[in-house]
Amino acid sequence: MKELNIVLVEPQIPQNTGNIARTCAATGARLHIVKPMGFTIDDKKLKRAGLDYWYLLDITYYDSLADFFSKNEGPFYYFTTKGQHIYADVEYPERAYLVFGREDAGLPEELLYQNPDTAVRVPMIGQARSLNLSNTVALAAYEVLRQWGFPELKVSGQLTRFEW
């Protein structure tokens, strides 16, 4: 199976991280969280957002960005409002890492400056500051999975009272 990796750098809002954890669990994506976080992992808001999907989650924690990079080899794609490339124009290879920054500050500009070809953005009107982090992660993850043909994901559903 192709491996999709979602990386949250210093997440601050537990509900966002819970929603992202649920997206990762439902898609089979691995979740990587780079500390420090703005909440504790036992936060009720985090658990509520992830509901009962935690047992499906493959999650790894790192003490810093340096720790994360020392333990993982890309390719890395940096999601940022400052990106010069559109996320949907990228062809994502197997084992892609989609990297997202803090809700209030994004990713460090030095990191973006060093990686201009893989800094990508979601198009939006100029007056909008950014999309919600959990929404951005979901649309990015599903774009990659769409490109890969939704490997090992159930692509059709069943009615409960009727048959198709």
Q: What are the residue boundaries of the structural domains of the chain, listed by start?
A: 5-147
Phi, then psi, of 106 in degrees rounded to 5: 70, -160
Cβ-contact 96, 144 below 8 angstroms:
yes
Binding residues for S-adenosyl-L-methionine, by number, are 101, 122, 130
Binding residues, by number, are 101, 122, 130
Q: What pLDDT, in 10s, does the model give residues 69-118?
A: 999 999 999 999 999 999 999 999 999 999 999 999 999 999 999 999 99
Q: How far apart are CA 164 and CA 147, in angstroms?
A: 27
Q: How far apart are CA 102 and CA 8, in angstroms?
A: 7
Q: What pLDDT, in 10s, does the model give residues 33-66?
A: 999 998 877 656 555 655 567 778 899 999 999 9
The residue among 123, 77, 117, 124 whose CA lies nearest residue 101 is: 77
- Fold classification of 5-147 is Alpha/beta knot (3.40.1280)
Q: Give residue 120's pLDDT.
A: 98
- The model carries a pTM of 0.92
